[in-house]
Structure formats: C-alpha cells, structure tokens
Amino acid sequence: MIDTRRYQWMIGGFGLLMVVLFSLYLYTHSRHTNPGVPAGQRLHRFVAPLAVGGPDLAANVNPRCNPSRPARHGLNVCDRGPLVLEFFALDAPPCIKAVDALQRVSSRFPGVQFAALAAGGEQAGTRALVRSHRWSIPVAFDMTGAVGQLYDVTICPLIEVAGAGGTVGKLLIGERWERPAPLARELRQLLGKVS
C-alpha cells in the first residue's frame, strides 16, 4: 500500500526544489542593463539609411567602417566624434520634442555632429516627421530594430553624447531633454569635457 502523505511531501519538496533552482538560474543568468552605451565606452558602430534621400534598406550593425569616408545616404556611426545621437520613437511625443530641442541647439555647437535615429521606425513615417518638423540634422530610421537592440533602447528620449573616437561622455535619458535650454546647458558642459 502506498503512503499518500509521504508521496505528497515528496512531490511538494521536488516542486519547491525546482522553483528554487529556476530562481537561482534566473538570478545568475539574467543581467539587468541600463539602456544605451554607458559613459567611458565607445558607441556601437552602425550605418542606418537616412529618412530623406536614403534607400529603404535595413540598418547595418556590422559595417566595415572608414570614418574618413562616411556612408553617402546613411547615418554612419564609426568611431568618430564629437557626436550627439538621439534615439526616438515615431509615436512618442516627448521623444519627438527632444529631437526638436536637438535641432534647435545644434547650431550652437560647430564641429559637433548631431543626428537622430527612429528606433523601429519605417522610412515613410520618419520622412513625414522630418519634413513636418523641418529637421535639418541627419535623421535615420531603423526599420528592423537592429540598432535599437544593439543600443538596448528601451526608453526615450535617449541621447548619447560622445567625444572624439566615439567614446561616450554621458547618456542623457528622460523628458528633461525635450527642452532646448537644459539640453544646451548640459551639452555645453559635456562637450567641453569630451570633445
């Protein structure tokens, strides 16, 4: 005769052991990451097509980079700087306001490249946005989301500020950067350090 109480305890103990082992696995194998490239590290290389004037292609996250010969119809991030790069979403008003702010302050920083990338965006929608907002900074799109994944873009606005050689000086995250005045102040302080 089978002792059902003992059998129930064994099944319960086995279940509890499995929960503990699975939790331990998740704890040791999952990594909590912050979005973007952290300060002190180099920007990830990529070439993404421009929304206006570029071909409707997927971004290349493994390009053969030659910083002295940038891509003709694309945003080329290949170890150069200084660069202020914003990632935005087409359907996120705070992100779009931050690109507006980036556009407005870009003329105050000669010698610094300003650019934006629609993470997960498609060309027609990105092109319409560029034209309606009259952005003149290079704006690229990432239709497959490959660059967004490379940079772990999980929030916007997300602005990478990189100095010479593409080394990140600081990562700017959040709605505070949708206003030109605080953005200009922060960039003035950072670009003196990283350029």
Would the pLDDT of 19 be above 70?
Answer: no
Question: What mean pLDDT do residues 13-37 have?
Answer: 61
Domain covering 46-194 in this structure, CATH number: 3.40.30.10
More confident residue, 164 or 124: 124
**Spatial separation of the C-alpha atoms in residues 102 and 107, rounded to whole Å:** 9
- Region 166-187: mean pLDDT is 91
Q: 68 to each of 71, 76, 115, 123, how far by Cα in Å?
A: 10, 11, 18, 26
* Tens-place pLDDT, residues 167-177: 899 999 988 89
User: What pLDDT shows up at residue 194?
Assistant: 46
How far is CA 69 from each of CA 3, 47, 72, 81, 163, rounded to the nearest angstrom?
A: 78, 12, 8, 14, 19
Using the predicted structure, report yes or no on whether residue 24 has a pLDDT greater than 60.
no
Average pLDDT of 169-186?
92
Average pLDDT over residues 146-164: 90
Is-contact 98 88, C-beta < 8 A?
Answer: yes
Whether the Cβ atoms of residue 172 and residue 39 lie closer than 8 Å to each other = no
Lowest mean pLDDT among 80-84, 123-127, 178-182, 184-188: 80-84
Helix (H) or strand (E) holding 148: helix 146-150
Q: For 29-83, how does the pLDDT look when each residue is reduced to its tens digit (9 = 90+)? A: 444 456 888 888 989 988 888 898 767 778 888 777 765 665 566 788 876 779 9
What sign for the dihedral angle of Cα 128, 131, 133, 138?
A: positive
Q: How many CB atoms lie within 10 A of CB 67?
A: 14
